[in-house]
Amino acid sequence: MNSNTPALMLDTLGKTFDRPAVVDLSLRVAPGEFYALVGPNGAGKTTTLKMIAGLLRPDTGGISVYGIDALQDPLAAKRIVAWVSDEPMIYEKLTPFEYLEFVAGLWEMPAAVAEERARALIDCLGLGAYAHERCQGFSKGMRQKVALAGALVHDPKLIILDEPLTGLDAASARRVKDVFLKDCVMGRRSS
Ligand SMILES: Nc1ncnc2c1ncn2[C@@H]1O[C@H](COP(=O)(O)OP(=O)(O)OP(=O)(O)O)[C@@H](O)[C@H]1O
Ligand SMILES: [Mg+2]
């Protein structure tokens, strides 16, 4: 990988269900860059993001993440990618702190690092007052933030967000943007 290696490259990506959902999509995203897919309902945005995250296999084309061929070596790509669904999936019986420790455990992060990172993310996203309450009963926006924190816990190099601000109030939306803009998630690298 050299300094010109894109964070993400899609090459004539295609996926058809009953009818074509994504047709010959090519794009290139540089490290540190924000890139938005905007389009009407059913345009194929979620399908595209799921293919990048390795949850759907494209029919045609290629996906490269920081120089890794995500179709040839999906595990290596998944190690550096985070995906947040438009429908947050979290464990209801866990508290935000427990959930983040659990996710960090899946990534085999050392416990001390996981704890520090969980605390920073909870603080960053304004979840401090709820850190030790079970997620069941949390509002949609709070669940969204817990899911986002879970995706960020292993310090991914590429973050894929599907409608990340849906359901968030104005202040929370601002805070989530700040998480990315101000690098408040533990000195995020730029390459
Ligand atoms: N698992 C699936 N099985 C069959 N068709 C699907 C499946 N997933 C998506 N589609 C179809 O693919 C097309 C694109 O859907 P997709 O969810 O990617 O759109 P979107 O741009 O994310 O829309 P929205 O703005 O509503 O979220 C739609 O016609 C949808 O019905
Ligand atoms: Mg969608």
Which residues share a beta bridge with 84? Answer: 161
Ligand nearest to the CA of 45: 1
CA 65 to ligand 2 centroid distance, Å: 21
Q: Which residue segments constitute the domains of the chain, with CATH numbers given?
A: 8-79 (3.40.50.300), 96-158+165-181 (no CATH)
Q: How many angstroms separate the alpha carbon of residue 21 from the centre of ligand 1? A: 7
pLDDT at 126: 86
If pLDDT is split at 50, 70 and 90, which confidence band does 186 have? Answer: very low
Q: Is 128 in the pocket of ligand 1 (CB under 6 A)?
A: no
Residue 41 Cβ < 6 Å to ligand 1: yes
Across residues 127-141, what is the average pLDDT?
92
Centroid of ligand 2 to alpha carbon of 85 (angstroms): 9
20 lines ligand 1 (CB under 6 A): no
Q: Rounded to an integer, what distance in angstroms lies between the CA atom of residue 147 and that of residue 90?
A: 6
pLDDT digits (tens, 9 = 90+) for 97-110: 999 999 999 999 99
Mean pLDDT of 105-128: 92
- HEC secondary structure over the chain: CCCCCCCEEEEEEEEECCCEEEEEEEEEECCCCCCCCCCCCCCCHHHHHHHHCCCCCCCEEEEEECCEECCCCHHHHHCCEEEECCCCCCCCCCCHHHHHHHHHHHCCCCHHHHHHHHHHHHHHCCCHHHCCCCCCCCCHHHHHHHHHHHHHCCCCCEEEECCCCCCCCHHHHHHHHHHHHCCCCCCCCCC
pLDDT at 189 over 60: no
Whether 88 is in the pocket of ligand 1, judged by its Cβ within 6 Å, is no
How high is the mean pLDDT of the chain? Answer: 90
Q: Is the shortest distance between the CB of 85 and ligand 1 below 6 Å?
A: no
Taking CA atoms only, the protein residue closest to ligand 1 atom 11 is 21
* Mean predicted confidence (pLDDT) in 35-48: 96
**pLDDT for res 183:** 54
